[in-house]
Amino acid sequence: MSYKNTLQKVDTEKALSLIGIEYQTQGAYVKFPCPNCKEQAVIKAYGDKKNLYYCPRCKVSGHIISLVMKVLGTDWNNANKLLIKAEATTKRIANELTMKYELQYHHFLESQGISEKTCRDLEIGVPKGKTMLAGCIAFAVHDEEGRKIAYYGIRIKDLKPVFHKSFNPELYVFNFFNVDSKEPVYFSSNMFECIKNIEQGRQCMSNFGLPYLSRFQLDLLRYYEKIVFLVDESLVKPFAVQMAESQMNYYRFEN
Ligand SMILES: [Zn+2]
């Protein structure tokens, strides 16, 4: 695989975890200690400059492969081999998920203004027992045909996303299958906001909290003539740029 391919495919957060670097995410950026001066450096987790980093303090820059080499003191080949473990899948899930969690309503959902009935209807809740989504709010995810293909989780204690490696949120739009293009369509990047809007009778979709729209998601949004975006102020500009660049239909932002 070419190194540019690696930069596009590797999940930045997974890669940093893999080499034992502590980080903080902020929108499309991830902050971590600079390998040179230990001050805060930034690496881009999405888009064109994905997996390129820069330290504003000492001006050192590089990409995720050179970062791994530096941090682990290893060579190019070994760094690449290691990074394969941090790749996000580019495959869509072909089969319907037969596994079903026993989901419980949780006071966190109540605090978000989401009712027990909505959770039952949409298959949302905290899974019972020992599962990879223990301690998470799990959301059943369906493909465009309405087949359940995965669960997406948000950990209650820190709101970090948790999901199986076979599922890549870039390849789906949450609740797309339920939305009628003849009615007004809403879109929120926040999963809880999305559910709250559905509860209020709006047709709402979400991109699983990603701070950008993937190519695939942009393509799916073309099905709708008009879309209202309910996103944080910090995301208005990046989303508007993406929508304009891909020459999308009529859309507007609402707070
Ligand atoms: Zn530095």
Q: Report CA(212)–ligand 1 centroid distance (Å).
A: 27
Residue-wise DSSP of 169-213: GGG--BTGGG--TTS-EEEESSHHHHHHHHHTT-EEEE-TT-SS-
Query: Looking at residue 130, what is its pLDDT?
Result: 92
The alpha carbon of 95 and the centre of ligand 1 are apart by a number of angstroms equal to 46
User: Which tens digits make up the pLDDT trace of 68-92?
Assistant: 999 999 999 999 999 999 998 889 9
Helix (H/G/I), strand (E/B), else coil: 147:
coil
Calculate how far, in angstroms, residue 63's C-alpha sits from the geometric centre of ligand 1: 14
CA of 60 from ligand 1 middle (Å) equals: 6
Q: Rounded to the nearest whole angstrom, what is the distance from the C-alpha of residue 44 to the centroid of ligand 1?
A: 16
Quote the pTM value: 0.86
* Cβ atoms of residues 51 and 40 within 8 Å: no
- Centre of ligand 1 from the C-alpha of residue 42, in Å: 10
Model pLDDT, residue 111: 96
Ligand 1 centroid vs 70 CA: distance in angstroms?
13
Q: How far is the CA of 54 from the centre of ligand 1 (A)?
A: 8
Residue with tokens 């709402």: 204
pLDDT of residue 1: 61
Tell me how far the alpha carbon of residue 148 lies from the centroid of ligand 1, in angstroms.
45
CA of 80 to the centre of ligand 1 (A): 23
Query: How far, in Å, from the CA of 214 to the mean position of ligand 1?
Result: 30
| Calpha distance 91→144 (Å, rounded) | 15
pLDDT of residue 43: 97
- SS3 (DSSP) at 216: helix
Å from CA of 33 to ligand 1 middle = 8
Q: Which pLDDT value is given to residue 241?
A: 87
With a cut of 50, list the residues of the chain below it in pLDDT. none
pLDDT at 234: 87
Handedness of CA 45, 46, 51, 52 (dihedral sign): negative
CA of 50 to the centre of ligand 1 (A): 19
Summarised one tens digit per residue, pLDDT across range 126-167 is: 999 999 999 999 999 999 999 999 999 999 999 989 999 899
Task: Calculate how far, in angstroms, residue 30's C-alpha sits from the geometric centre of ligand 1.
Answer: 15
| % of the chain residues with pLDDT over 70 | 100
Residues 6+ apart with CB under 8 A from 52: 7, 43, 44, 61, 62, 63, 64
- Rounded-to-integer distance, Cα 106 and Cα 134, Å: 12
Query: How far apart are the C-alpha atoms of 43 and 1, rounded to whole Å?
Result: 21
Ligand 1 mean position to 234 CA, how many Å?
26
Nearest to 188 by CA among 200, 175, 171, 204: 204
Give the DSSP letter string of 26-80.
Answer: ETTEEEEE-TTT-SEEEEE-SSTTTTEEE-TTT--EEEHHHHHHHHHT--HHHHH
Distance 61 CA to ligand 1 centre (A): 8
Closest CA to 29 of 10, 5, 47: 47
